[in-house]
Chain A
């Protein structure tokens, strides 16, 4: 079964803690993305990576960090510097180069207590 997985599905964090969201894909895609989704808003790009060991900031990167050590994995760390981290986080991957479909994972809902 090819696809993209995210874990955990729900995550609770105390203020001041860092947490890491997992994203794994077995689609052999080069590009991977992290988005944040808030109620009534669209998808806002946090970070993206088009190749292993390289990544770029998106529109709302402050308070987040990523790594891309393996093609299959693109974990997102939400740091204590992120002022309002409660949101639904979506990971996506894209293959084929250029403009094409993005495949999304099921999402992680992060709640700060």
Chain B
């Protein structure tokens, strides 16, 4: 049973465009929703994270939108750059600390 569903699997965006990646979850006990960025051959690194008491969090060009009632959250990358080309994973975790990851989205930003 996949508890975190991520879409799309791959995304191609022109430089300067907006990249949007969506995730949906089932477990209402989740209370921490991070997004990780992974470059080829490297380990993932935290990009931005949100807790369910807020509906939006922005850090530079990256924004998480969170809809608690719909059990959905999304990552928006504004003014996408070729250097943003990477695989992005959403995740969700409970107070127990263990995380459940989405299957990842491969983003390609064309110059």
Chain A interface residues toward B at CB < 8 A? 6, 31, 33, 40-43, 45, 48, 50, 90, 92, 94, 97-107, 109
Q: How far is the CA of A43 from the CA of B34 in the complex (A)?
A: 14
Residue of A nearest to B98 (CB): A48
* B42 cross-chain contacts in A, Cβ below 8 A: 106-107
A-B contact count (CB 8 A): 58
Q: How far is the CA of A31 from the CA of B98 in the complex (A)?
A: 9
Residue of B nearest to A58 (CB): B98
Contact A104 B103 (CB under 8 A): no
Interface centre among B34, B43, B102 (most CB of A within 10 A): B43
Known: A43-B89, A92-B43, A101-B49; 9 extra A-B contacts, CB below 8 A, are A43-B44, A45-B98, A90-B44, A97-B97, A98-B96, A99-B97, A100-B97, A102-B46, A104-B44
* B30 cross-chain contacts in A, Cβ below 8 A: 99
The interface residues of chain B, by DSSP majority, are classed as: loop
Q: How far is the CA of A50 from the CA of B9 in the complex (A)?
A: 32
Contact A94 B97 (CB under 8 A): yes
**What sequence of 0s and 1s flags, for each residue 86-97 of chain B, a beta carbon within 8 Å of any chain A beta carbon?**
000100011111
The answer to whether the Cβ of B99 comes within 8 Å of any Cβ in the partner chain is yes
Residue of B nearest to A106 (CB): B43
Q: Known contacts A31-B97, A99-B32, A101-B46; is A42 also within 8 Å of B41 by CB?
A: no
Contact B41 A104 (CB under 8 A): no
Min Cβ gap B38→A in Å is: 8
Min Cβ gap A7→B in Å is: 13
Contact A41 B97 (CB under 8 A): no
Q: How far is the CA of A47 from the CA of B67 in the complex (A)?
A: 31
Contact B104 A104 (CB under 8 A): no
The answer to whether the Cβ of B79 comes within 8 Å of any Cβ in the partner chain is no
Contact A40 B44 (CB under 8 A): no
